[in-house]
Amino acid sequence: MTQPVLAPDQVAQLEHTRACIADAIEAAGGSIPFDRYMELALYAPGAGYYVNGARKFGATGDFVTAPELSPLFGHGLANQVAEVLAQSGGSVLEFGAGSGVMAAHILARLAQLDCLPERYQILELSGELKRRQAATLRERVPGLSDRVEWLDRLPEPGWRGVVLANELLDAMPVSRFRVGDDGWQEQGVEWTGEGFRPMWTAARTPGLVPALEAITGRLGAFEPGYSSEINLRLRPWMQAVAEFMGCGALLLIDYGYSEREYYHPERDAGTLICHFRHRAHDDPFLLPGLQDITASVDFSAVAEAGVESGLTLAGYTTQAQFLLGCGFDQLLAETGAMALGDRIDQLQAAKQLILPSGMGERFKMIGFTRTIESPLRGFALRDLRASL
């Protein structure tokens, strides 16, 4: 992808983000690991993509998420949330609530079910997104917005309720690696004065080589030249969630694969992808601060990290099977009272959510519980834990 024509404010943002990352590279002695580059490009205060105020979600942004497509997604998820809250009590905590649409849909459905949480908590890094979320909630669920609170840190241990994260894991910074002639290599990033340049060095990030050797110990050695990525920040995040969760469930929705699929010999260039104006490309150095940078999720690693952190793996399935298990058919039938045009729109959105050609198979749901005895309904139709 060649650099597109940018508006003046986008040019200014691009230059600011580049300068921020270039300063970090200079301070580090001339190069930084790719995961640090990705972290800065996405989250550096005032400069990173997710915190600089640019519109990201929906038709006028760079990509569309499932909650933006239809309220049916949030309503189906709310049916599962209600089931857990009936056993755990407490609150709902959403990591990275985007535009706030999913929170609004979940709260509306929980109100219908007479199963509102004590609080709907949102942990959000972006001040601009916090303001947008608050506006969305005031507009869509005005009678419920007073239940919402924004957190600056994780809850204290003993917290009860349901933790949600939709498309959070794919935006965690990843380390990029390849098999070189002399062993494992890691991608670093240099600043040339005009742009960023990737370079390969011996693996130096702590924990990278042991993690890669564990993977090849299970799957067999990769061929020379094989390259991919690995999320070394996943395990600490799962441990942090497990430390505060006293009773309840953790539900994670994202796109990705099992370990064996992720590191398949034919997937020898990794899964990294960037989004700008609804166009996908593979150059993470093109528009830092203006483009999303993501990597698919290794759900085997997610399962392992959760169990090692003391949580119980409750299920793993496709988005389609999870929504159907949560009563998606009935929710769709309830749209029959809508005006014809609105109902047609909802039917089209429903297809995107559950059909294999849309999000239905590509996106997965994985769930963990603590001190919840009953199985989760979302995994009742098809549980794919054995594939992990």
pLDDT in tens, 263-286: 999 999 999 999 998 789 999 999
Section 18-24 average pLDDT: 97
CATH assignment of the domain containing 300: 3.40.50.12710
**Residue 182 corresponds to which tokens in the numbers above?**
């002399």
Q: How many Å apart are CA 257 and CA 193, to the nearest integer?
A: 38
In the prediction, which pLDDT does 157 show? 98
| Predicted pLDDT at 348 | 85
List 365's β-bridge partners, or say none: 253, 317
Report residue 312's pLDDT band, with 50, 70 and 90 as the boundaries. very high
pLDDT band at 349; cut points 50, 70, 90: confident
Band of pLDDT at residue 378, cut at 50, 70 and 90: very high
Strand partners, 269: 227
Is the pLDDT at 47 greater than 60? The verdict is yes
CA 217 to chain centre: 28
Which run of H or of E encompasses 185?
strand 183-191
Length of the chain: 388
pLDDT > 90: percent of the chain = 85
The DSSP bridge partners found for residue 279 are 276
Which pTM does this prediction carry?
0.95
Give residue-wise pLDDT tens across range 98-123: 999 999 999 999 999 999 999 999 99
Question: Which residues are CB-neighbours of 295 under 8 A, at least 6 positions away?
Answer: 170, 174, 229, 231, 270, 271, 272, 273
User: What gap in Å lies between CA 18 and CA 21, rounded to an integer?
Assistant: 5
- State in Å, rounded, how far the first CA of the chain is from the last one: 35
The pair phi, psi for residue 47, each rounded to 5°, is -120, -35
Domain assignment of residue 270, given as a range: 1-388
Tell me: pLDDT of 341 over 80.
no
Alpha-carbon distance 7 to 303, whole Å?
Answer: 43
**Residue 342: pLDDT above 70?**
no
Q: What is the pLDDT of residues 240-258, one digit of tens each?
A: 999 999 999 999 999 999 9
pLDDT average, residue stretch 318-332: 95
Q: Name residue 159's amino acid.
A: W
pLDDT value of position 62 = 52
Number of structural domains found in the chain:
1
